Chain A
């Protein structure tokens, strides 16, 4: 049970079309998420870090089918053998009816209508900014109770009872039921958003930068709450953030994204101690250390993140990478396990090993 994989993401792609010209035809694509393969274990908190615009949020939203993937597969709570079978069939015999059947039965991205509705109960999200994710004209009881209404699970006094129960879980009380979102502070609003996500008893929650809009002291409280809820509800988290110190504190495993690709995945301790990918290294080195004796006088990472419309060929980091070798500009490095589940996509690192 401990190491059971809950979520398989296989070569997931999400491209946004850029429309142009007289007929508004597709002229280019923003490759927001490009061939991401990822596994998330049951009960863990998977941290996803990267700069703004690297596709973290898009990945999170695509995983729970809020955005339709362009390509790739999502397997939620599917046994390992079946996942392997589908992938094997895909390469061997992509047109077989068996594959079609299997995909229809197991792939999350094939689900629609009632089946998707059912899945949505298990997959929830908490957004970055609670001021925009909560309807200002709805009362707290309606906001938090709405998922129950949509899914036709409970109504009347039963719904009310459930709303109060979940509000108490997130540190609010019955008194708050008949209030509007604007009457709350930022931290409390985020608690309402969390309550709404949790009322359906989900198994997997995407936390999309949930602490970036609150003060430092409130941030600490929210992080405590997430830890607590994870135990109480047996949740699995995908924690998307650009704040490395927060991710380091809360996550079990961390993935580093750069320009739509995952470049390094490892357990938190391992990743922060033994960073391998040059980008991850540069990213971690950029975080200011609150200790003047440890000042970094060397020059920081140069240049800017290239446009995801036309990413560099080969390794996407190679134009900014100080260790880049010949092969980096030609071939895309695969994500390779270098031991202890530490995955890294870098030619230089894997050549050395």
Chain B
């Protein structure tokens, strides 16, 4: 693949297997993918083709019995490159929700029903942005100090000291003890005020009307669209480099979907995050994405610019997929056959038994993922994938 520098995330030859009682499921079979800064990359494919596990691999969150058995996932952070699969769990916890965050299909299932929106959004900030919050709290205290009388001055100085201590070590004994003593623990409510301000700001960014009120609501009080906005706010709280969106609009009405898509577009401009957008809806892809990766049975079969994919699809599967879109006045065209079982996937190219252009080589040799045009990659023997 061409110069590596222009990507913020690159996946090379990722192999993932699930060890189940029925046999070994070869869920990902050498996935190659790269994401540029501040772009929206669409990842499309049918149910069970490995879209979601690819995204979970990026966070190294694949649940057992799944195991990543090969390949590389590298994330660029400034000048450094981080190989995610080799990192320790503690380090990954710092990355998740901070450099890379994720939004899921069913927003209500990912919100805790017994905490308010504010508490849940605040938690992300406390986890990853405690330093910033404390600094601004200290600034606030400094401002109050100027006006305070003698008695209050002492208390404020104490608060400031505790904040500084917390800045060094949030779990230090003195902070924990002080937070239990009345009056002295006033520094906590000051911190909470700071968090609230930040939360309301975030909710306002999500185009939520009346953010102060919404911040105090519980998830069940929110509509589906609202809940999804809250989840997006949570994901963007730390201004991540990469946002993974796993079918975020599938369960929403079309009008709400249009609102969320518009929001994602606006937020991309504002936060300058790259977005990996997973969906099976080609309409959404056309509407939103800059580049598209098409997945089939654990492989990325084609990767290109969105205009290129819709105008000049090369891989037979991509073509079939585009033809299966229901359009009024046209017959439905479904792809013959069914998605193969990944326990015993077809040899060679995994699409060959459903492909109308299949040649002899297709069931023997797995086609390589090669660049055929400018930034247009395809894995198919028709386009020289065997060389």
Contacts and interface: CB of A to CB of B under 8 A. Distances in A.
Given A223-B332, A295-B286, A290 B258 contact: no
B310 A220 contact: no
Interface string B188-199: 000000000000
Interface string B247-268: 0000001111111011000000
B175 interface: no
A3 interface: no
B254 A290 contact: no
A288 B255 contact: no
A96 to B, nearest CB: 46
A52 B253 contact: yes
Interface residues of A, number: 36
B1 to A, nearest CB: 24
Contact of A288 (B46, B284, B306): B284
A325 to B, nearest CB: 22
A22 interface: no
Interface SS, B side: helix
A107 interface: no
A287 interface: yes
14 contacts: A51-B254, A217-B324, A220-B332, A221-B334, A248-B328, A249-B332, A283-B255, A288-B258, A292-B307, A295-B287, A300-B258, A301-B259, A303-B209, A304-B256
Contacts of A217: 324, 334-335
A126 B223 CA distance: 28
A293 interface: yes
Nearest to A242: B253
Contact of A249 (B46, B255, B284, B328): B328
Interface string B360-378: 0000000000000000000
A327 interface: no
A247 to B, nearest CB: 10
A217 B255 CA distance: 24
A224 B254 CA distance: 24
Contact of A215 (B47, B209, B262, B327): B47
A223 B255 CA distance: 24
B44 to A, nearest CB: 11
Given A217-B335, A291-B286, A292-B307, A301 B258 contact: yes
Given A217-B335, A290-B310, A51 B328 contact: no
Contacts of B261: 288, 300
Given A220-B334, A292-B307, A245 B326 contact: yes
B85 interface: no
B82 interface: no
The size class of the interface chain B forms with chain A is: 20 to 34
B306 A292 contact: yes
B332 to A, nearest CB: 4
A287 B259 CA distance: 11
B249 to A, nearest CB: 9
Contacts of B262: 299-300
Interface in A239-294: 242, 244-246, 248-249, 272, 282-283, 285-294
Given A292-B286, A300-B262, A286 B254 contact: yes
A249 B223 CA distance: 30
A300 B207 CA distance: 12
Given A52-B253, A242-B254, A291-B310, A302 B286 contact: no
A9 B262 CA distance: 39
